Chains A and B, each alone.
Chain A
């Protein structure tokens, strides 16, 4: 426990002194290490430590928030007073804090119980991984001009107590390994990147071989050297398993976040129970997905992570909720309240968002495509949830001509409109893979994953330079 329950009770009492209806203290102690290997040498090792608490008070529709790096009782009381003053207008306390009852016997979560904690591993062992990856990438081709490898781990202990009597905590460990290569040839330079991450400790490297990550990145950069300009205009788009989960993250995921829906900033407002996608499309956001990058036991408001079906066979079934918005609507949170650090307010966020496997052979999907592009890696995307217009970038793609994958294409952006694109999914494969990313919203970045089988969108607008 980072802060004693008795101290939390007094801090919450202070937070409620100006008419607050709900108060919460979120305490965090995060340690992170990273190492970067570039130009064949260890360039930098970094260690970081962040420790503090955020306190919020809700009065009516308004939230007052203050945070502090000072975890002494005096420091916390001062922050509580700041949060209360921010929204309370001199009113007396109308609500008292009940006795906090800890809801978890141990503050080690299921993920850290299984993990080889990064702090138990010698820094030299982490560096050895970087060297192995660098060597493997360089062996791929003489065209590899530069290799940059990095390792990052973090361990984040959190504690949450609120005026409803909740007292809980989580202990999360994450590990990520990144390789970026630059290949050089007659047509200029091309880059290739591969960067898997999981909610795991050092045992991550039992599941992932660093040489394999490095070769994927290196081969990607080399293959792009012979890339032709991407086509432009509307055409069929086949997304390889794992590559296209970000499509659903952007095309519908953000629009299903209850805070945006309540702000009239979603094209999916008032559409529950209606057909919003092709019948082949089921979209699930699952915070319990085993040891994935976006997985946790409890969210940052202390609510249990859940598997939430958002779209089932094309019909919109539910939005994602955090505690505050769920309370207002008289329902339970879906366990999607997340915050980047104790310095940020929680809001509705995705976890691991995916489309489950269908029953079509992925090769048959390609054979069945006359002309289009095959996306093997996407570089992220962006959406305006109010209009539904979204984009995502293809960082490794190929032309499909007469049912065959032919030439690699240079990087290009794809654009679409969420509700329209979702209805145009016309083939879903029987394979599946996930993709690791960081999702940004209102200035906060949180770890997420997305996943899908190989699938086809009948037409999207591809933004290449070829006529």
Chain B
């Protein structure tokens, strides 16, 4: 499959203009920024490839065109926002901003979001906190695709957890992990390439082991062992039950479902300088980074990296050289742009950025 390199700016502008047709421009900007951010960091499964699916949900009236956020609870270091079935990214940016603001006063805080939709990638929010000298946390629940450890039937999502820690330079230490054994996207790729998958990735709809990606896609994901299953359950409670959102088996599928997902998210921040002098923290974090990256690698490994280091390097490369995207993804974007009657200049810009026609 051919990849084309496309610069961030024309890609983001085109996505923004598409979204700005059915949505407010301010919301369109946030969503486009979050999608392209994912592609910049190499997390293409959460990038612009998601645009069409989100718009499909909008057109099926499963997501509101305008995110009317209500502050349902606000008490010292805690707040709860109701996204009223608006856009996950929009509500989440507001929630993380509020969380950061609260931690400037209280030093540690958590803000929940209820009745929301897919929020994109978690690090988009946790890295915001890190840039303010804070440690950021984000979690969300998700479509009910994963079985608890040892079960045949699903009652959890591959619930993701993200955490970011600042260093004194541009690099932000970031763990952004799902609790499944592998991402569903990896199974989709195996399906596309017609290759078998290892046992342990997924089970069939009848709860049997499978190496057939087709059966796996119809079935359920397996968690990262008992520990991954336990984490997914805890994240479901923190993001779903604590916020008063849907949880577990009650969450309809993002793609096949025909009702609002009512997802929940939880954001957290800790103000580092309330624990230790910032200079001292940065000195110590540098020691931690250095001891990790200077570790002699085991056989079969080139090097040892910090959490988020590889994606940071991808970000640097993609910012410089352009984001590698499948031709089909770009074709879909252009076709969306035409459907939404986006000003031709934005399509032209994208086309010229990739060297003309596709």
| A interacts with B | no
